[in-house]
Every structure is written in C-alpha cells, then in structure tokens.
Structure 1
Amino acid sequence: MEIIFILVGIAAAWILQTILGTGQLRNFNKHYNALRQKGRVSIGRSKGIFRTGVVLLMGIDKRGRIHTARKMQGVTIFARFRDFKILEGQDLLNIDQDVYNKMDRYTKKAFDDAVDVYKKVARGEEIPQQKSPFGKLISSFGK
C-alpha cells in the first residue's frame, strides 16, 4: 500500500513540474517574441544542475547595439525574465569593461555565450546543440 502512495506522489510531482515548466517556457516565448518583433535577438545561456542558471535575451539593432536586455536567473522553475537595463545601449561586440565587471559570473558566462552565438550566426555557421547537464552526466559514463 505504501508503494502506491509513493508512486502517486511521484506522479503528482511530475505533473506539477510539467505544468510549471510549461509556464516558464511560455514566459520565455513571450519575451523572445516581443524582442523579435523589434529585430535581431541574441540569446545566451549559463546552465547548472545545482547552481543558478541564467538565460539572457538581448535585442540588437542594426548597428550591433543592445536596445533591450532581459535576464532570467534562478535555480527553480519559478524564475522569470526581468529587465536587465545595465546592458541597454552597449555595443554587443565591444561592451564597456566596467559594465561587464558589474555582472555576476553566471551572467558573464551567459553574455559570453550570446556574443559567441551572435558571431557564429553572422559568419553563417551552424550552432551546435548543447547537451543538458543530465546528458553530460550520462555521456560521461559511456567513456
């Protein structure tokens, strides 16, 4: 009988996580689409299993300047995008070092990823699919 309660609890947690994860995905799509309507968007990510993750969305104008920046940072599925005004008005490829140094290390990693992706797209290169932290863990056992 106890096993049934455990299985029901696991199923309920999975369903709740799916619902809340869908809400986070909708939040991403809403902010991405709003920026995309204004022009190009560069996206940077910094992922972690047991540490904060960061997703950085930056709207880029024709001169390569960041007109809008939004950041989602957190460990849980409750994280949502917030304005990240410190980057607005900066040149994506030549950011002011003082502005860069004000970012935490996870945001710096996401920013660097966004710049790298932007450069690859500008050169017409393919963006490789990144493995999830779980995927990296699984592939480490295969070596």
Structure 2
Amino acid sequence: MQKEWLFALFFMLMVMQAVGVRLQVRAYRQAVSHLRRRGYVGIGGGRRRLGPGTIVLLACSGDGTIVGAETMQGMTIFSRFRERPDLYGRTVYDFKNELNTYPAKKRKQYKGYEQAADALIGRLQKEAAARQKENSQLEKA
C-alpha cells in the first residue's frame, strides 16, 4: 500500500513539473515575440553550477540602441521575465564595452548579457555588410 502512495506522489510531482515547464516556455515565447516587434533580438543565458540560471533578452533598433531588455533569473518554474528599463537608450556597443571592463569574477555573473550583446552586434554587422553589398551592386549597375 505504501509503495502505491509513493508512486502516486512521484507521478503527481512529475505532472506538476511538466505543467510548470510548459508555462515557462510559453512565457519565454511571449517575451521573445514581444521584443521582436521592437527590433532585433539577442538572446543569452548563463548558469552557475548549483545556482540560479539567467536568460537575457535584448532588443535593439537598426542603429544599435537598446529598445527592450528582459531577464528571467531563478531556479524554479515560478521565475518570470522582468523588464530592465535601465538599459534602454544605451547602445549595444557601449554596453558590451562596459561588460568587458568588469573583473573576471563579475563577468561570470553577466555572461548572459554578454552573449545577448554579442548576438546583437553580430546581427547588426551582418545587416551592415548586406546593405553595403547591395549598395555596391547598385553602383555597378
């Protein structure tokens, strides 16, 4: 009889975990689609060994100005995305340079921010190269 109760409890915990993960994935998708409407989106994440993980979403305009920033930090399924309005209006290049000035120990905490900024910088450079190529082809014609 005790084994059945233990199995039922274990099963219920697994179901609750699955429902929680589904809700968290839905929140992630909503946050990404919300930021995509604002501009280019860069995504980064960082996790310590046995500590809370962080997911960072940064959105920037075509000139590199940050127009949206959200982070999710925590270890449980109850973590939600929170806006970071303190980053709005800064350029992604300045933000990346600031992160590079941090000491190594502090940079580990901001790894997700660094990944998101790198993704945005890469995207902006790709867009600039494509525009430059298009302009050079128009000049040749």
What SS class does the counterpart of residue 94 from structure 1 fall into?
helix
Which has a greater percent of helix? 2
**Unpaired runs of at least 5, structure 1:** 125-143
Aligned to 1:118: 120
How many residues end up aligned between the 2 structures? 121
Aligned to 1:135: none
Contact 1:52 1:74 in 2 (8 A): yes
Aligned to 1:88: 88
Superposition TM-score, scaled by structure 1 size: 0.73
Aligned to 2:45: 45
Give distance in 2, aligned partners of 1:43 and 1:57.
5
Give distance in 2, aligned partners of 1:117 and 1:6.
46
Give distance in 1, aligned partners of 2:67 and 2:46.
22
Larger Rg: 2
Once superposed, what is the RMSD of the aligned Cα atoms? 2.4
Give distance in 1, aligned partners of 2:76 and 2:114.
23
Give distance in 1, aligned partners of 2:60 and 2:77.
27
* TM-aligned CA deviation for residue 77 of structure 1: 0.9
Contact 2:60 2:120 in 1 (8 A): no
